[in-house]
Amino acid sequence: MMKRLLQMKCFACIKCCSKDVKSVDADLAGFADVKVNDNMNKGKSFSSQRANVAHSFTFRELAVATQNFKDVNLIGEGGFGSVYKGRLESGKVVAVKQLNLNGLQGNQEFIVEVLMLSLLRHSNLVTLIGYCTDGDQRLLVYEYMPLGSLENHLFDLEPDQEPLDWHTRLKIAVGAARGLEYLHCIANPPVIYRDLKSSNILLDNDFKPKLSDFGLAKLGPVGDNTHVSTRVMGTYGYCAPDYAMSGKLTTKSDIYSFGVVLLELITGRRAIDTTKKPGEQNLVAWSRPFLKDRKKFIKLVDPMLQGRFSMRSVHHVVAVTAMCLQEQANVRPLIGDIVVALEYLASQAETFENHKSLTTVDSQPSPSKQDEDHTRDLST
């Protein structure tokens, strides 16, 4: 695998970090056999197609692009390091992620992310433009997403910031689900994202979502294998309980995380919020009593929506969420079924907004039989 990469000259870092690369060779061994199964390229391996060409930048180029990583250009920060807005010499605006050498994302995750985003292409996955491996520097250059992450529009809003309306929330859920569907159903072998959360869902000017940060992604099980055994990684509050307890990773682990994101979209609450009183700090645990009682679904809804939604739509989105959050992995729905259900519900929400004045929840009709059938299909 590594010999093949050297021939392809994919990464300058492979030449200067042989010790680090050797330690990750086992994790990357399957990538040469990754295939795509879309209608246009069925059965073709990624190596036989034109992958995304990630440009190799010098550290100087990226320092100039970000004005020497000025604080005024800082747009994000986490355990992995910092993200800066920059402008390349060509004039293109980009996001530059500078990895903290002592942070949570090491050389292994860096290589995995470059590989993943070079091989996988979808409109709901963020585009990798390039990377830098000068000396011990590790930087990634992405397309710039002007509206930032989903969490910026759900939590701790500024006084003059408009909350996301119901249709936009469903639109974001559909896009994120489509990205996940590509990873689970089109990539062959499937890719398990393993770090789905609101801060990793980026938004363009039209609130179109793109999944980002693929450093923890893993190739899924193939053949008769039912899971991938690995050390538990991810973010507390989003991690599936079955995976956290056993280390057995499946695509259904991502489905649980997606359910947590859906719950955040419905409630406007963080997955983990230590500022809330005991009993309400863990979103999933707090929501369980409401998810089990259809009459209490309304108590989950973000008060910032001020009743501007269809109660019918809320009932079905909550039902989909509850299915994703099942503690037993095998009873969680497939991502393809989730996409179908959410696309339908999003289209209904758009119709509601376009053809009906916004009304309070008291005036909303109960779910129709047609709507119930769409949701019920997920559990069959």
Q: Is there a contact between 144 and 68 (Cβ–Cβ < 8 Å)?
A: no
- List, in order of start, the domains of the chain with CATH numbers: 11-143 (3.30.200.20), 150-379 (1.10.510.10)
Dihedral sign, CA of 84, 88, 93, 99?
negative
97 in a known ligand binding site: yes
Residue 355's pLDDT is 58
With tokens 């529009």, the residue in question is: 153
Q: Is the pLDDT of residue 13 over 60?
A: no
Q: What is the Cα–Cα distance from 378 to 344, expressed in whole angstroms?
A: 13
Q: What is the 3-state secondary structure (H, E, C) of 144-199?
A: CCCCCEHHHHCCCCCCCCCCCCHHHHHHHHHHHHHHHHHHHHHEECCEECCCCCHH
Instruction: Grade residue 79 by pLDDT with cuts at 50, 70 and 90.
Output: low
Residues paired with 94 in a beta bridge: 86, 143
Residue 103's pLDDT is 58
Give CA torsion, residues 311, 254, 180, 195, to 10 deg: 110
Q: Is there a contact between 345 and 180 (Cβ–Cβ < 8 Å)?
A: no
Q: Is the pLDDT of residue 371 over 70?
A: no
Residue 109's pLDDT is 80
Q: Is the pLDDT of residue 20 over 90?
A: no
> Which of the residues are catalytic?
195
What percent of the chain lies above the pLDDT cut of 90?
59
With tokens 């930048």, the residue in question is: 57
Residue 28's pLDDT is 36
pLDDT tens figures, 252-279: 999 999 999 999 999 999 999 999 999 9
Which of 230-234, 298-302, 350-354 shows the lowest mean pLDDT across its residues? Answer: 350-354
pLDDT tens figures, 290-341: 999 999 999 999 999 999 999 999 999 999 999 999 999 999 999 999 999 9
Starting at the edge strand found earlier in the chain, the sheet holding 139-143 runs 55-56, 128-132, 139-143, 93-99, 81-87, 74-78
pLDDT tens figures, 135-184: 889 999 999 999 999 999 999 999 999 999 999 999 999 999 999 999 99
